[in-house]
Chains A and B, each alone.
Chain A
Amino acid sequence: EVQLVESGGGLVKPGRSLRLSCTASGFTFGDYAMSWFRQAPGKGLEWVGFIRSKAYGGTTEYAASVKGRFTISRDDSKSIAYLQMNSLKTEDTAVYYCTRDREYSYGHWYFDLWGRGTLVTVSS
């Protein structure tokens, strides 16, 4: 079955770190860019960042709200994408989703596969 499964969420104190995992199955993980999104309670979708496939350098980009605090990486041998979150703030509280990215053409993307999400709660 083609799917993404996030894990690693939980309750964490402000200033602490957490690492989320996104485990893929049913497709050739290494062929795809992968993104992370989040959704705060009752709010809309916010892009967090993405990682290109190794064929495109495996480079990353991040939203301004998380740049310098969050790091995305990937292990194609295990079909896992990671989101390392450091210096967490209360405003990082959200459900975090990973996605498989599809490209219409250069610079234009949509997201055809989503994980079910993992909840991160940042609170003292």
Chain B
Amino acid sequence: DIQMTQSPSTLSASVGDRVTITCRASQSISSWLAWYQQKPGKAPKLLIYKASSLESGVPSRFSGSGSGTEFTLTISSLQPDDFATYYCQLSRYTFGQGTKLEIK
């Protein structure tokens, strides 16, 4: 089975910061990666699919990049609404461990 390693597990940042979250796959997965945002008590929300395609309605400050084994989610300028937990996803069965983005 392909393993996903997401880092960091926790990230402290301030409004206006540029932040990057990374997912690494144990073997090449082409571009079959999605990113989700989850706020406490809420369902996950799709942000990015196919590594870099922005889901409709998602602000353009979110972007995804990468292919093969290394992928990144970047938020160009953090907004107060962005403090949440972020997950990468390879397949039905394989999600990253999550990155909790906290206010510094």
Contact = CB atoms under 8 A, between A and B. Distances in A.
Given A45-B95, A104-B32, A104-B49, A110 B87 contact: no
Contacts of A102: 49
Interface residues of A, number: 20
Nearest to B97: A44
B85 to A, nearest CB: 9
Contacts of A63: 93
A102 B46 CA distance: 11
A109 B97 CA distance: 18
Interface in A83-109: 97, 102, 104, 108-109
B49 A115 contact: no
A57 to B, nearest CB: 17
Interface of B: 32, 34, 36, 42-46, 49-50, 55, 87, 89, 91-93, 95, 97-98
Interface of A: 35, 44-45, 47, 50, 61, 63, 97, 102, 104, 108-117
